[in-house]
Each structure stands twice: as C-alpha cells, then as structure tokens.
Amino acid sequence: MRIAILLAFCSVALSAQTVSVAQLALWDDQPDKTLAQLWGTAAQNPKSAAARVNISYALLSMNRLQQAEWAARESLDLDPANTQAQLILGWTLAREYRYTAEALDYLRRAARAYPVGHVGAADVLAHQGSTAEARAELQAYLASGEKDYRIPAQNWLKLLNLQ
C-alpha cells in the first residue's frame, strides 16, 4: 500500500507556505530539498513534535525506514499522545517487517483518530496469524466511513473470510 496516504495526516507543523513548498517538492521528486526544508523547520522548533512527524513522514516516503522510525520515536518522546507519530511509527515498523505487539499497539491507538490505522493493524495481525482479529480491524475501518481504501479493504476482507 502506498505511503502517500499519510501525507494528509502530516501537514500540521509547518507554516502554510512551507507546507505547500514541502508538498510540492515531495511530489516533484525533490525529496532531498523537502527534507532539508523540514529539518530547517525542526531546527527552528526543537520542542515541536509535529515538526518531527513531518520529517518522519518524508523519510518514510523516501523508504528510509530506520530514519523514519527514529524521527517518529523522537516525536513521541516530545509528545507521547501524538497520534500522527503513532501512526507513522506503527506503519514504519510494519514496513520493516516488524509485525510486533509494539507496531500493533501504535496502529490501534492511532486508528482512533486516523481510521487507516485499522488497515495497518490488520496487516500486522494477519502476519501474526490472527485472522479473526485482522478481519475485525478491517471491519472497523469499513465502519468508520473512510473511503480512501474502502475497496482494497473490502477485497482483503473477502480473502480473509475464505480462510
């Protein structure tokens, strides 16, 4: 699943001008320029968890998973209740094939604010062999009313129901 879905969740920390420039640079295949802008903003706001969330999202988008994990953890050190950081950390751990209780916990906590976390939690649970729980997470996503990944979630749920 594309990590691009996280972009909508991670654009709160920067000024409107910087966000639009950062988003443009991300989508114009200028990730290093984007990352430099985000690090500059984080340096100006050393206590900003949201600035670290933006960095972790950019790193995740660049498939720099260990660095994305580090930035998300740093964000959670600054603000343990930051649901965006929880989502990114859980997603990153799953992308690193670390289908652990920690990844599941972060994704489930984030799903309260960002229903797509249910899809990530279903992925972790499916890899852990917990098919019934994976089904429940997909059903929770579908019940949330979110539409972005409705069809893939429905299709995946059909496959899990065959097992």
* Interval 41-84: pLDDT, tens: 777 778 878 888 888 998 898 899 999 999 999 999 999 999 99
What is the pTM assigned to this prediction? 0.80
Biggest alpha carbon distance in the chain?
52
17 pLDDT above the threshold of 50: no
Per-residue pLDDT at 30 exceeds 90: no
Three-class secondary structure assignment of the chain: CCHHHHHHHCCCCCCHHHHHHHHHHHHCCCHHHHHHHHHHHHHHCCCCHHHHHHHHHHHHHCCCHHHHHHHHHHHHHHCCCCHHHHHHHHHHHHHCCCCCHHHHHHHHHHHCCCCHHHHHHHHHHHHHCCHHHHHHHHHHHHHCCCCCCHHHHHHHHHHHHHC
Structural domains in the chain, CATH included, are 1-99 (1.25.40.10), 115-163 (no CATH)
